């Protein structure tokens, strides 16, 4: 009996020691990504004594709330946020350097280049991809056939898109060749800027500090869009649309080409199985292809303890493993590692691979003032698109955009 009591006491002591050594970390995530991250945390927590606690924050509140928490010394241990905000938080010295961890990963070369680029500041890496996304085009193969176009051949340039869109519009019966979301800056950087990147141009310099608005690629892109607008080939809700009706318009069978994202394949096949479609990369004005690398990046807050940092990075390596990558694909559409794309998509529609094939060429604006430049409903980028495509003073609008970008950048660029 005495030996039994000693054994029980020893076991209890070991258990309490294990419990005492367990470490919890807090992770803030956008509500749009909350379900997937919670699912990953649940899987991790079920097999680890250390725990990941997920708190969901609405997308609109994430940046101001996280900034206030950092300033007030009450930040979470980590955050999963829109990758476009990584330069801002890194420049403000709010994030933990994880360069050695990222470079030491055996699959480091398979991480989205744009996510790593946006997470890099001053030569150090401050984040890793969590739930990536990419922009593409979807086209209705039935409408292509009816318009005398090859349904198996995607438009290889924006000039081809414009020509195809006009032929599809000529079918009549309220059919339109083209749909893009023209009244949302967030959507426009997603589906308009890739045209420029495909032509090796941009609206910002590589370091994000200088405006480079007026380029031949921009003018050629605008010319193609204006051509479609004047021909009546753009769906009438495009100009005022914020994205809410884009998928439904395409699913109605009345839109030939939709500027969209990688989510479209699984969404259409599950919700609109009768729609005949294919997808392709976003082309440049004359040739080339690119995409907007969007989605989320996981970053740790500056000053996180060594114990918590170890747990957080262990969680990253956990969700990067094949089993979790398949789960991410099932729940959100794109795995975090491109080298596992074929494995992750084995049970899903192979058209998803189009987005992954172009992800290595995808970009994201590197800027410290994304909201003012691109997202704001009164910002210069939205005004550029509305003014040049639907307005009359193209030269004046481009010049004003250059001046507005420059003014904002001069005020917001870090020293």
Domains located in the chain, CATH noted: 13-133+293-359 (3.40.190.10), 134-291+365-412 (3.40.190.10)
Which has more confidence, 368 or 243?
Answer: 368
Residue-level pLDDT at 341: 81
Q: Mean pLDDT over residues 168-182, rounded?
A: 97
- Report the pLDDT averaged over residues 142-150: 98
Q: How confident is the model at residue 6 (pLDDT cuts 50, 70, 90)?
A: very low
Distance (Å, whole) CA 185 – CA 381: 7
DSSP, collapsed to helix, strand or coil, labels residue 267 as helix
Q: pLDDT at residue 337 above 90?
A: no
Which tens digit of pLDDT belongs to each residue from 58-78? 988 999 999 999 999 999 999
pLDDT at 9: 45
Taking the C-alpha atoms of residue 119 and residue 50, their distance in angstroms, rounded to an integer, is 26
Task: Count the neighbouring beta carbons within 10 Å of the beta carbon of residue 60.
Answer: 10
Residue 10 has pLDDT above 80, yes or no: no
Give the phi and the psi of residue 124 in degrees, each rounded to 5: -115, 150
pLDDT at 362: 93
Whether 218 has a pLDDT exceeding 80, the answer reads yes
Helices and strands (H and E) in the chain: how many: 20, 12
Lookup: tokens for 324: 């979790």
What pLDDT was estimated at residue 11? 40
Share of the chain above pLDDT 90, in %: 83
By CB atoms closer than 10 A (0-12, 13-18, 19+), residue 260 is buried
Q: Region 307-319: what's the mean pLDDT? A: 98
DSSP E strand stretches across 101-214? 120-121, 124-125, 128-140, 176-179
Residue 99 pLDDT exceeds 50 = yes
**What pLDDT, on the 0 to 100 scale, is given for residue 265?**
92
Can you tell me which residue has the tokens 């725990």?
51
Inter-residue contact 129 to 291 (CB < 8 Å): no
Per-residue pLDDT at 208: 96
Whether residue 340 is predicted with pLDDT greater than 80 in this model: the reply is: yes
What's the pLDDT score for residue 17? 44
Closest-CA residue to 329 (of 247, 263, 280, 281): 263
pLDDT at position 120 is 98
Per-residue pLDDT at 338: 83
Strand partners, 25: 52
For residues 229 and 415, what is the distance between their CA atoms, to the nearest angstrom? Answer: 42
- The confidence score (pLDDT) of residue 229 equals 98
Is the pLDDT at 3 greater than 70? The verdict is no
Compute φ and ψ for 123, nearest 5 degrees.
Answer: 80, 5
CA 323 to chain centre: 22
Please state, in angstroms and rounded to a whole number, the distance separating the CA atoms of residues 385 and 213. Answer: 12
């Amino acid at each position: 009996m005495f030996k039994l009591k000693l054994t029980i006491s020893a076991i209890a002591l070991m258990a309490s020691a294990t419990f005492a050594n367990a470490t919890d970390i807090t992770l803030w995530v956008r509500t749009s990504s909350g379900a997937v991250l919670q699912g990953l945390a649940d899987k991790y927590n079920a097999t680890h004594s250390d725990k990941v606690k997920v708190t969901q924050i609405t997308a609109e509140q994430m940046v101001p709330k996280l900034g206030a928490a950092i300033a007030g010394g009450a930040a979470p241990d980590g955050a999963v946020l829109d990758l476009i905000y990584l330069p801002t938080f890194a420049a403000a010295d709010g994030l933990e350097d994880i360069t050695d961890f990222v470079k030491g990963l055996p699959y480091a070369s398979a991480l989205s280049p744009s996510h790593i680029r946006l997470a890099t500041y001053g030569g150090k890496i401050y984040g890793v991809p969590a739930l990536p996304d990419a922009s593409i085009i979807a086209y209705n193969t039935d409408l292509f056939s009816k318009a005398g176009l090859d349904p198996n051949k995607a438009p290889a340039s924006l000039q081809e898109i414009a020509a195809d869109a006009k032929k599809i519009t000529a079918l009549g019966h309220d059919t339109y060749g083209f749909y893009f979301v023209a009244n949302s800056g967030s959507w426009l950087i997603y589906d308009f800027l890739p045209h420029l990147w495909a032509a090796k141009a941009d609206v910002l310099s590589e370091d994000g500090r200088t405006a480079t608005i007026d380029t031949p690629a921009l003018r050629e892109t605008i010319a193609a869009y204006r051509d479609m607008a004047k021909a009546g080939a753009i769906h009438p809700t495009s100009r005022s649309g914020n994205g809410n009706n884009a998928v439904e318009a395409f699913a109605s069978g009345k839109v030939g080409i939709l500027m969209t994202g990688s989510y479209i394949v699984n969404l259409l096949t599950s919700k609109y199985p009768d729609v005949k479609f294919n997808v392709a990369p976003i082309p440049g004005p004359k040739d080339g292809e690119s995409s907007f690398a969007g989605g989320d990046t996981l970053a740790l807050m500056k000053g996180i303890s060594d114990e918590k940092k170890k747990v957080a990075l262990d969680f990253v390596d956990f969700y990067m493993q094949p089993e979790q990558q398949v789960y991410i694909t099932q729940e959100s559409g794109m795995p975090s590692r491109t080298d596992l794309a074929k494995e992750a998509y084995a049970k899903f529609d192979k058209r998803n691979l189009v987005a992954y094939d172009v992800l290595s060429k995808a970009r994201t604006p590197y800027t410290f003032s994304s909201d003012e430049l691109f997202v704001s409903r009164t910002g210069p980028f939205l005004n550029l698109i509305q003014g040049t495509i639907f307005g009359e003073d193209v030269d004046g609008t481009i010049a004003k955009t250059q001046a507005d970008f420059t003014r904002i950048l001069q005020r917001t660029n870090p020293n």
